[in-house]
Amino acid sequence: MTMPDTATIVARASALFEDLHFSSAREWKSAVPGRKVIGYMPIYVPREIIHAAGMLPLGIVGGGDQLEVIHGDAYYQSYICRIPRSTIELGVSGRLDFVDGMLFPSICDVIRNLSGMWKLMFPNVYSRYFDVPQNYRDDIGGNYYAQELAELRDALGELGGAPITDDALRASIAAYNENRRLVRELYDYRIAQPWQAPAAEVYLLMRAGLALPVEQHTELLRDYLAAARAVERPRRDNCRVVVTGVFCEQPPLNLIKSLELAGCYVVDDDLLLVTRWLTADVATDGDPLQNLARAFLHHSESTAAKYEPNAREKGQHLVRAVQRSKAEGVIFASPSFCDPALLDRPMLQHALSGAGIPYVSFKYAENSGQMQPIREQAGTFADSIKLWSGQ
Amino acid sequence: MTTITAGIDVGTGAVKAVLMRVQDGNTEWLSRSTLRIRQRDPIELARLCFDQVLEDAKIGEKQVNYVATTGEGESVPFHTGHFYSMTTHARGAIYLDPEARAALDVGALHGRAISMDERGKVLKYKMTSQCASGSGQFLENIARYLGIAQDEIGGLSKQADNPEVVSSICAVLAETDVINMVSRGISPQNIVKGIHLSMASRLVKLLKSIDASTGVVLATGGLALDAGLVDALNEETGNMKGMSARIRAHADSPFAGALGAALWGAYRYDRLVERGEIARAA
């Protein structure tokens, strides 16, 4: 069998990205009677539990720039972000009518309230506000989180008509461990040769992971890495940047493309963190829920939406990300009205200033159309790094 | 070490390319090329311009160490690196006129005021808003309505004896003003000078807003060679309180962006060599 090239792989990922009727998930569900689909919002849910129930986890990250929000605006005041409006639009327009359950992770008040609204609007859909610990001691936050996971496991078992076994959970953890290994490999590959794995392509591949069964996504990543390594692409004199603040409402694809066009190689980001929230393999022996809880407490990403109990540690994850990825600067790109990203930004910028790392900031909405100002900001930032850093 | 570097400025109205040789800190301008876009694909024109400068300098493409683009040239497929217009016009202005501490880039679509230090580092920057009434495209349209060639504009403007000032806010209103002037029998000289004064008024305000109130300002971009506009800029500067800047143009001012790109490209090439990360042209 001939190996697909990057263009073919990216075209498949792009088709999944553009499909706001989620045809791929609908086909997966209709292929076998009794299958169920569980939607989830940013930034993290333990997809292993959904997978172990024989269900498809489906990432819902709003409607992007292709969805006209007609009904969604009526549910929210004007001074909040766009992702809850477009998610409601997806719901009331019937685009999510095949989804059997929705998980709303603990990220901000808006998403928390959306979980309640979903219960009222779609009473026949299993809806759950998925809370996470604010305390990172195993005997406090760990026990609390394991209990949350147990409740989710029981609820999904009930929804699916059969309890989720420990063996099924262990097998799912192994499947996601493999997926995360490939994701890490792709991110490491981009750090080493960012011109070989453009930011927009990496993003589309990660987005595909929100729609495809994990086994198919792992295969897609493996194919892409092989195809990318097989062809040498032109290397530009771009600066290397970390993009942060993009963990919930997604930037338009054109914004990601514009950053690279403006002379910035994106070498790390916090886009679609669910695909790499856990930074190390989860143990596949012993109690699977305790293993997932321990991984969350001790081996998970840091982001503005995650509580950091140590004030001196605030922002250091970003400094480390810059060092690890050999970046030369940071771009703070945050959705308008995003409380977690914008409230944390000054503290993160303070940490960067302390480490002598340059940064630039701007805001966007998922449907932003005018990229020229962003290109100019990112481009002049790239110029300043290339010409004047260290002077 | 000798570095051969190309600068390609993809503007709204024209594409400009230059080829430079930089050796031990000395720069030699090898060749230049300009093509008006006229509804053609600017990326294809960039290739044609690049080929022309190579041919004129008898340099092979593989001998070029760094191809730098600026303006709208990010998508030129064979570029090594891209620099933004304010960065390149500042450097190009210093190259053409070492006394300059500000550049006023007046192109087909925008006017940009840039202040810089003696190294060409941008200190402040501001550009005109989206309205086209301060732009070369607007002037070109008016010249067409009046039936005069573009290279006649500057000379006619200098002959004006009683200029009629037009709206400096909106190109549509300004065009209406011009139609009224023609019907009132105002001479083309006074109309053109009025337009120059209107444009100059906006551009001098831009300069003041970036604190470029004193010293030498080099006009760059396509309109820098319009002597009538440069005169009007100096008149407006003289009339504005707190402004004593002198605005000058250089015969090669339209190439400032391409020159700046080429010079920054040479600088980057040397740094990449030092760090062992030579960027390879596509």
CB A367 within 8 A of CB A62: no
Task: Please give the distance of CA B163 from its chain centroid, rounded to a whole number.
Answer: 26
Burial (CB count within 10 angstroms: exposed 0-12, middle 13-18, buried 19+), residue B241: exposed
- Write out chain A residues lying below 8 Å of B281, CB-based: 234
- pLDDT tens for each residue of A75-122: 888 889 999 999 999 999 999 999 999 999 999 999 999 999 999 999
Distance from CA of A140 to the nearest CA of B (A): 50
Least Cα distance to A272 among A82, A70, A17, A87 occurs for A17
- End-to-end Cα separation, chain B, in angstroms: 22
Q: Which of A234, A235, A263 sits opposite B82 (nearest CB)?
A: A263
Q: How far apart are CA B119 and CA B132, in angstroms?
A: 31
**pLDDT value for B121:** 94
Answer whether B261's CB lies under 8 Å from B8's CB.
yes
The average pLDDT across A8-16 equals 98
Beta bridge partners of A57: A38
Distance from CA of A362 to the nearest CA of B (A): 18
> For residue B193, what is the enclosing H or E element?
helix B188-209
Q: How far apart are the C-alpha atoms of B39 and B12, rounded to whole Å?
A: 10
| Alpha carbons A290 and B209: distance in angstroms, whole number | 62
pLDDT band at B169 (very low <50, low <70, confident <90, very high): low
Q: What is the CATH number of domain B2-90+255-274?
A: 3.30.420.40
Chain-chain contact of A387 with B87 (C-beta, under 8 angstroms): yes
Residue in A236, A376, A388 closest to B84 by CB: A376
Q: Would you call A376 and B77 a contact, using CB atoms and an 8 Å cutoff?
A: no
Residue B134 has pLDDT above 80, yes or no: no
Question: pLDDT value at position B143?
Answer: 83
Say yes or no for a CB contact (<8 Å) between A380 and B267: no
Q: List the domain boundaries for chain B.
A: 2-90+255-274, 98-249
Distance CA A211, CA A207 (A): 7
**With an 8 Å Cβ cutoff, are B264 and A387 in contact?**
yes
Q: What is the pLDDT of residue B144?
A: 82
Do B98-249 and B2-90+255-274 fall under one CATH topology? yes
Domain B98-249 of CATH type 3.30.420.40:
yes
pLDDT digits (tens, 9 = 90+) for B194-209: 889 988 988 999 999 9
Of A70-74, A157-161, B146-150, the least confident: B146-150
pTM value is 0.90
pLDDT tens sequence across A313-330 = 999 999 999 999 999 999
From B74, B75, B280, residue closest to A235, measured CB to CB: B280
| Spatial separation of the C-alpha atoms in residues A127 and A113, rounded to whole Å | 12
Predicted confidence band of residue B280 (pLDDT cuts 50, 70, 90) = very low
Q: What is the pLDDT of residues A169-220, one digit of tens each?
A: 999 999 999 999 999 999 999 999 999 999 999 999 999 999 999 999 999 9
DSSP, collapsed to helix, strand or coil, labels residue B125 as strand
Amino acid letter for position B210: I
Q: Out of A59-63, A133-137, A272-276, which region has the weakest mean confidence (pLDDT)?
A: A133-137
- What does the pLDDT read at residue B8? 98
Q: Which has the minimum average pLDDT: A303-307, B244-248, B261-265? A: A303-307
Label residue A26 by pLDDT band (50, 70, 90). very high
Find the mean pLDDT for residues B121-131: 81
In chain A, % of residues over pLDDT 90: 90
Interface contact A387-B268, CB threshold 8 A: yes
Using the predicted structure, report yes or no on whether residue B108 has a pLDDT greater than 60: yes
Q: Residue B170: how many CA atoms within 13 Å on its side-chain side? A: 4
What's the CA angle centered on B164, arms B162 and B165, to 5 degrees? 130
- β-sheet with A239-244: strand ranges across: A264-269, A239-244, A329-335, A359-364
pLDDT for B147: 86
Query: From CA B80, how far away is CA B67, in angstroms rounded?
Result: 5
Selecting from A234, A235, A380 the residue whose C-beta is nearest the C-beta of B84 gives A380
Q: Would an 8 Å CB–CB cutoff place B198 in contact with chain A?
A: no
Handedness of CA A390, A313, A306, A345 (dihedral sign): negative
Question: Which residues of chain A are at the B interface, by a Cβ-Cβ cutoff of 8 Å?
Answer: 234-238, 261-263, 375-376, 379-380, 383, 386-388
Side-chain-side CA neighbours of B85 within 13 Å: the count stands at: 28
Kindly state the average pLDDT of the residues A234-238.
94
CA distance B52 to chain A (A): 23
Q: Is the pLDDT of residue B116 over 90?
A: yes
In which band, very low, low, confident or very high, does the pLDDT at A259 lie, cut at 50, 70 and 90? very high
Measured CA to CA, the distance from residue B180 to residue A39 in angstroms comes to 64
Q: Which residue of A has its CA nearest to B65?
A: A237
The share of chain A scoring above pLDDT 70, in percent, equals 99
* A237, A238, A383: residue with CB nearest B84: A383
Among candidates A236, A375, A388 on the partner chain, residue whose Cβ is nearest the Cβ of B81: A236
pLDDT 10s digits, B40-65:
999 999 999 999 999 999 999 999 99
pLDDT at position B281: 42
Chain B residues near residue A254 by CB distance under 8 angstroms: none
- Choose among B110, A387, B92: nearest CA to B102: B92
How far from chain centre, in Å, is Cα B162?
29
Mutate to test the interface with B, among A237, A385, A386 (most CBs of B within 10 A): A237
Within 8 A of A373 by CB-CB distance, chain B residues are: none
Which residue shows structure tokens 């292929």?
A31
Q: Do the Cβ atoms of A358 and A381 come closer than 8 Å?
A: yes
